[in-house]
């Protein structure tokens, strides 16, 4: 069954009396070339374990299952799970297996639940990758959940809104607090942009597929600076993005303006700079010397 066909998607939804839920970001991929590029970008191996967030009707799930050892698909919508089960019925079953919250067919395990509430321990015991098409409202919490975990994924391939992708992968002088928050833990890259016409229902904005690769535990900045203090300094610096650093940091610390100037100059940062012009290493240096 061609799951990138709008006609097929509509018929499946009608059969199960389902409808795309805007609140869950249910915009179904109808562009085969984009599907192929996502699979290629993930650089999948037969030994890989992939956690897919929001599989929907299984367009991507089927392709993942053909290439990896196991797919763990986490879906919140009960009706989507019913459709997903049907789409996977054609795949050979594994031996019977009891799952507390899931269902198993071939090398795909379906779990009904909210990814933000899911305990990562069961699937994080072995190296894994994350693949997801994320609605705007959960992008930050999902990324934070995985990057801050004790066993982060080897990499994350995420479809997000184009503007969100640009913010996450920004470089000076266009850094944002979101960019700093993600790049503190990982390397980021925009792989390609996706037209809004590649989805049904068509969203209001274009999308982008990004790659997030967590830094090795031994090189994580959290080992050399206090993480809470780091983000306290960053939040103070970005408190009013259009204002100079010296003013923002003076308002957010116990130092007076002159003290903040000396602190910035000590770290070779011009007090008149804005937060968006600083690199991660600048924030690390400020944290070490505050």
Dump pLDDT digits (tens) for 74-133. 999 999 999 999 988 765 444 333 333 444 557 999 999 999 998 877 777 789 999 999
Question: What number does CATH give the domain 222-289?
Answer: 1.10.8.100
Q: How far is CA 277 from CA 170, 244, 250, in A?
A: 10, 11, 18
d(CA 228, CA 211): 25
Instruction: Give the model's pLDDT for residue 105.
Output: 58
Question: Integer distance in angstroms from the first to the last C-alpha of the chain?
Answer: 60
Nearest to 129 by CA among 152, 150, 96: 152
Tell me the average pLDDT of the chain.
90
Question: Is residue 46 classed exposed, middle or buried when 0-12, 13-18 and 19+ CB atoms within 10 A define those classes?
Answer: exposed
* 148 assigned to a ligand binding site: no
- Gap between the Cα atoms of 118 and 75, Å rounded: 11
Rounded Cα gap, residues 3 and 32, in angstroms = 9
Residue 93: what pLDDT?
46
Summarised one tens digit per residue, pLDDT across range 160-176 is 999 999 999 999 999 99
pLDDT score recorded for residue 136 = 86
pLDDT tens, residue by residue, 262-283 = 999 999 999 999 999 999 999 9
pLDDT at residue 102, rounded to an integer: 45
Instruction: Confirm whether residue 95 is marked as ligand binding.
Output: no
Whole-structure pTM value: 0.91
State the average pLDDT over residues 156-162: 97
What is the percent of the chain where pLDDT is above 70? 93
Distance between CA atoms of 227 and 236, rounded to whole angstroms?
A: 14
Instruction: Please give the pLDDT value at position 129.
Output: 96
- Residue 52 marked in a binding site: no
Which tops the pLDDT comparison, 143 or 102?
A: 143
pLDDT single digits (tens) 5-19: 999 999 999 999 999
The tokens for 34 are 């984009």
Residue 211 pLDDT exceeds 70: yes
Q: What is the DSSP letter of 56?
A: T
Cα distance between residue 124 and residue 276, in whole Å: 34
Tell me what pLDDT residue 222 has: 66
Return the pLDDT at 123. Answer: 73
Q: Does the pLDDT value for residue 181 go beyond 60?
A: yes
Q: Where are the domains of the chain?
A: 6-215, 222-289
Q: Which of 105, 5, 103 is nearest to 59 (CA)?
A: 5
* 1-53 residue pLDDT tens: 899 999 999 999 999 999 999 888 899 999 999 999 999 999 999 999 999 99
Query: Which pLDDT does position 90 carry in this prediction?
Result: 60
CATH number of 6-215: 3.40.50.150
- Judge whether 248 is annotated as a binding position: no
């Amino acid at each position: 069954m061609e799951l990138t066909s709008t006609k097929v998607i509509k018929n499946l939804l009608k059969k199960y009396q389902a409808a795309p839920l805007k609140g869950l970001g249910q915009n179904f991929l109808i562009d085969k070339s984009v599907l192929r590029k996502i699979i290629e970008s993930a650089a999948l191996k037969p030994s890989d374990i992939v956690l897919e967030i929001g599989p929907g009707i299984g367009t991507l799930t089927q392709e993942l299952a053909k290439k990896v050892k196991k797919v763990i698909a986490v879906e919140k919508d009960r009706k989507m799970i019913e459709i997903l089960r049907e789409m996977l019925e054609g795949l050979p079953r594994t031996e019977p297996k009891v799952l507390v919250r899931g269902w198993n067919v071939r090398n795909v395990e379906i779990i009904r639940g909210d990814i933000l509430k899911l305990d990562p321990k069961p699937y994080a015991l072995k190296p894994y990758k994350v693949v997801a098409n994320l609605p705007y409202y959960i992008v930050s919490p999902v990324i934070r959940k995985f990057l801050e975990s004790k066993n982060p994924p080897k990499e994350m391939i995420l479809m997000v809104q184009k503007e969100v992708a640009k913010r996450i992968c920004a470089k000076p002088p266009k850094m944002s607090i979101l960019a700093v928050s993600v790049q503190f833990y990982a390397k980021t890259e925009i792989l390609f942009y996706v037209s809004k016409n590649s989805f049904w229902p068509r969203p209001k904005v274009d999308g982008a597929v990004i790659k997030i690769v967590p830094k090795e535990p031994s090189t994580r900045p959290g080992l050399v600076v206090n993480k809470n203090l780091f983000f306290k300094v960053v939040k103070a610096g970005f408190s009013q993005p259009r204002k100079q650093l010296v003013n923002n940091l003076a308002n957010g610390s116990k130092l007076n303006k002159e003290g903040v100037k000396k602190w910035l100059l000590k770290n070779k940062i011009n007090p008149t700079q804005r937060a968006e012009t600083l690199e991660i290493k600048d924030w690390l240096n400020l944290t070490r010397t505050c």
